[in-house]
Amino acid sequence: VPKWKRIIMYLAVRIFGWKYYHSHTIQHN
């Protein structure tokens, strides 16, 4: 796997994970 693809996948997981986490904390509050 090219290095840039690994970086993009890593950033995507961080961004989507952050949004998913915050969307669920807002719903639960």
The predicted structure's pLDDT at residue 22: 81
**For residue 10, pLDDT beyond 80:** yes
Phi/psi zone of residue 18: left (φ > 0), alpha (ψ -120 to 50 degrees), beta?
alpha
Token readout for 22 is: 């915050």
Give the sign of the dihedral formed by CA 15, CA 20, CA 23, CA 24.
negative
Residue 27's pLDDT band (cuts 50, 70, 90)? low
Residue tagged 């719903």 (tokens)? 27
Calculate mean pLDDT across residues 1-28. Answer: 87
